[in-house]
Amino acid sequence: MARLLWTVALLGAFRSAVSKPLGLDKRWEELKVKHEWVDVPKGWVQVGRPPTDYPLKMNIGLKQERFDELLEHLYEVSDPEHHRYGSHLSKEEVDELVAPNSMTVESLEAWLTYHDIDPVSSLARTDAGDWVTVTIPICKVEKMLDAKYGVYKHVDTHETIVRTISYSLPSFLHEHVSVIAPTTYFGTMQAMKSHVLIEELVDDQVSTSETVSTQTDVPDSCLRDITPACLFALYNAVGYKPAATDRNVLGVAGYLDQFANYADLQTFLTANRPEAVGFNFTTEKINGGGDDQSIPGVEANLDIQYTVSLSWPTPNVYFSTGGSPPFIPDDFTPTNTNEPYLDWLKYVSSKPKVPQTITTSYGDDEQTVPRDYAIVVCALFAQLGVRGSSVLFSSGDSGVGGGDCLTNDGRNVTQFQPAFPASCPFVTAVGGTTGIKPETAIFFTGGGFSNYFPRPPYQNDDVADYIDKLDGAYDGLYNAKGRGFPDVAARGDRFRVVISGKTYHVGGTSASSPTVAGLISLLNDYRISHGRPPLGFLNPFLYSKGAAGLVDIVGGTNPGCGTQGFNATAGWDPLTGLGTLDFGKLQSLVLYEDED
């Protein structure tokens, strides 16, 4: 019953409505606001207007006819107590569920035709038809959306993008169109910063930790210097040898012209996993993404060096997504000013097979992401989960919130700031820890409660218990009914990373997420090698049978917004979730004798 009520509440945002036939007397110019900001989002200032014939690539997300059925499938195939556990859907089955109904398609095409856009020759469509892409002059976009686009510059990063602070659609289209991009989502490119902290230069490039093959305990050196050997020891994964490397894949999502470097990986492996030297990852370029080996990215190298070294010899793929070149007001050439994040999701969802494990270390304050955009992106993660992919996100590095923590809805009141996509209920959010024997929550670990998404049933009891322990503390600063995050945690500081041949210490939940991804990839390998399907969407398992394979973290706080933040305590907490992974225990929990 709890799951049913939550699904009904969530579908208030996701479900497509039943439309009345489109009459000939509809007034196409009767527009209704789809989304608008009270003011220009914080950190951005308008510096000009784009040329009137600037070509804008417009992505139109259509309401999905049977998304409620997809959610039912997702929870059934992800619940270890359900007889369908692990029976993930194919791409074709997902496409059928997310396809828009005929009235939605007809209504969109009629609107485009009214604006002299040929729905046959001008449009690119996804296989399911739930996304339509068309490139048209921005002057026409402004008329269609009753919008006024500007060139906006970020005061800190100095990047420039083309956005509007408001857009509208004909009233009848609201029940057919979920979102149009790019419009009001400003949190892209450098503003969509990765959660990574470069701490200091390490003088030597040779690991001081013991080798993986002989590691039986966590040495004190791991307090100051994290290597793959430390992580294997910390999380009880020493000695596991993957056996399903012909079927299992680990994916890393990269943005912002962050390129993973092949030579740096070899230098890293030589020092930290010598038996893996010579092994490398592959790069898939998306939407103009690059692979410039002359400019290694800190985030990209951190991710790849740890996913590869932990999962070796499992194939690793680095997704290099474009979409971040600056807009130059007097440049009339087509410059991609679209959301690279959305481009990545559309690309991966279109693949016949998806990686069994995916890690991403990027995100924004939830309130900076338009609600309609966040809902659509979150739905795309559900599609990956129901196809058998475990999607992991870092929870952020600002505690309960960075900056002044003021709301951007015109009230300007102080409120904790959850991070998105970590707040999406269909991803597994990863917080950060520090220390050994025991680990504690690291002070910057992001965590809290979503203001967009209700608390999902899989975590209802655990989160409710924590809120009871708060006993009224911070009431009004967070949404007690929202999805709580993170779900799990891992070490988040002093990771050795090779960048341009030199070794640095790097930290952040950007390190935590690929660490957990490496371990989950090994668990997926274990299941696949035993003839079982991959774990897929992890959270229903983690909050039930999997909890016995997690180590509770009970110390630390995550200050922010002028407060001490939440505290780590027994049970789930919004700093470290359910705790860190014990690979050995999880191995014994992920195989079920009653599975088909």
210 pLDDT tier (thresholds 50, 70, 90): very low
pLDDT of residue 308: 98
Exposure b/e, 562-573, CB count within 10 A at least 16 = b = ebebbbbbebbb
pLDDT of residue 363: 86
| Relative orientation angle of helices 371-386 and 91-98, to the nearest 10 degrees | 150
Residue 56 pLDDT > 70, yes or no? yes
Residue 97 pLDDT > 60, yes or no? yes
Which 3 state secondary structure label does DSSP give 394? strand
pLDDT of residue 25: 44
Residue 500 pLDDT > 50, yes or no? yes
213 pLDDT tier (thresholds 50, 70, 90): very low
> Distances in Å between the alpha carbon of 180 and those of 132, 184, 306, 416, 434?
10, 9, 36, 28, 41
Exposure b/e, 192-219, CB count within 10 A at least 16 = b = bbbbbbeeeebeeeebebbebeebeebb
pLDDT of residue 552: 98
pLDDT of residue 189: 43
Q: Average pLDDT in the 266-283 region?
A: 98
Phi-psi region of 401 (alpha: psi -120 to 50; beta: other; left: phi over 0): left
147-191 pLDDT, tens per residue? 999 999 888 877 788 999 999 999 999 999 999 999 999 874 443
State how far the Cα of 369 lies from the Cα of 363, in Å rounded to an integer.
Answer: 10
Instruction: Give 293 or 206, the one with higher predicted confidence.
Output: 293
Record the tokens describing residue 411, joined without a space.
């009230």
Average pLDDT over the chain, rounded to whole? 89
Instruction: Give 18 or 28, the one with higher predicted confidence.
Output: 28
Considering only 89-93, 200-204, 358-362, 478-482, which range has the smallest mean pLDDT? 200-204
| Length of the chain in terms of residues written | 596
DSSP 8-class letter at 213:
G
Phi and psi torsions of 426, nearest 5°: -105, 15
Considering only 76-80, 113-117, 194-198, which range has the smallest mean pLDDT? 194-198
Phi and psi torsions of 516, nearest 5°: -65, -40
Nearest residue to 161 (alpha-carbon basis) of 297, 256, 280: 256
211 pLDDT tier (thresholds 50, 70, 90): very low
State how far the Cα of 354 lies from the Cα of 248, in Å rounded to an integer.
Answer: 10
Considering only 60-69, 330-339, 355-364, which range has the smallest mean pLDDT? 330-339
For the chain, the farthest-separated pair of C-alpha atoms sits apart, in whole angstroms, at 78
State how far the Cα of 492 lies from the Cα of 81, in Å rounded to an integer.
Answer: 32
Nearest residue to 393 (alpha-carbon basis) of 274, 326, 331, 483: 483
Which 3 state secondary structure label does DSSP give 482? strand
Instruction: Give 517 or 364, the one with higher predicted confidence.
Output: 517
Nearest residue to 127 (alpha-carbon basis) of 93, 88, 102, 104: 93
pLDDT of residue 342: 85
DSSP 8-class letter at 321:
E
424-457 pLDDT, tens per residue? 999 999 999 999 989 999 999 999 999 999 999 9
Q: Average pLDDT in the 529-533 region?
A: 97
Record the tokens describing residue 402, joined without a space.
């960075």
Phi and psi torsions of 461, nearest 5°: -65, -45
**510 catalytically annotated:** yes
Q: Look-up: residue for tokens 């309401």?
A: 63
Residue 593 pLDDT > 90, yes or no? no
Question: Which of these is catalytic: 159, 299, 525, 573?
Answer: 299
> Distances in Å between the alpha carbon of 47 and those of 38, 151, 158, 163, 329?
19, 6, 11, 12, 9
Which 3 state secondary structure label does DSSP give 358? strand
pLDDT of residue 7: 58
State how far the Cα of 143 lies from the Cα of 138, in Å rounded to an integer.
Answer: 9
Residue type, 219: P
pLDDT of residue 321: 86
Looking at the DSSP bridge assignments, the partners of residue 46 are 152
pLDDT of residue 583: 98
Q: Look-up: residue for tokens 């900001």?
A: 37
Contacts of 551 (CB under 8 A, 6+ apart): 439, 579, 580, 581, 582
**Burial class of residue 472, CB neighbours in 10 A (0-12, 13-18, 19+):** exposed
Residue 18 pLDDT > 80, yes or no? no
Record the tokens describing residue 215, joined without a space.
């590691």
DSSP string, 152-200: EEETTT--EEEE-SEEEEEGGGGGTEEEEESSS----GGGS-B--EEEE
Record the tokens describing residue 90, joined without a space.
């194919």
pLDDT > 70 fraction of the chain, expressed in percent and rounded: 87
553 pLDDT tier (thresholds 50, 70, 90): very high
Considering only 190-199, 267-276, 368-377, 574-583, which range has the smallest mean pLDDT? 190-199
Q: Average pLDDT in the 227-254 region?
A: 97
Q: What angle do CA 100, 102, 103 make, to 5 degrees?
A: 100
Instruction: Give 267 or 6, the one with higher predicted confidence.
Output: 267
Question: Which of these is catalytic: 361, 395, 510, 521?
Answer: 510
**87 catalytically annotated:** no
> Distances in Å between the alpha carbon of 209 and those of 148, 223, 231, 266, 499?
57, 11, 11, 18, 20
Q: Look-up: residue for tokens 């709580």?
A: 484
pLDDT > 90 fraction of the chain, expressed in percent and rounded: 78
Residue 267 pLDDT > 90, yes or no? yes
> Distances in Å between the alpha carbon of 244 and those of 292, 313, 383, 526, 534?
31, 9, 24, 8, 11
Question: Would you kindly state where each structural domain of the chain is located, as residue ranges?
Answer: 27-64+99-186, 217-237+247-325+339-589
Question: Which of these is catalytic: 65, 79, 159, 303?
Answer: 303
Residue 503 pLDDT > 60, yes or no? yes
Residue 215 pLDDT > 50, yes or no? no
564-583 pLDDT, tens per residue? 999 999 999 999 999 999 99
Q: Average pLDDT in the 513-531 region?
A: 98
**299 catalytically annotated:** yes
pLDDT of residue 205: 43
Provide the CATH topology of domain 217-237+247-325+339-589. Rossmann fold (3.40.50)
> Distances in Å between the alpha carbon of 90 and those of 77, 143, 352, 388, 595?
12, 40, 8, 9, 19
10 pLDDT tier (thresholds 50, 70, 90): low
Residue 289 pLDDT > 90, yes or no? no
pLDDT of residue 555: 97
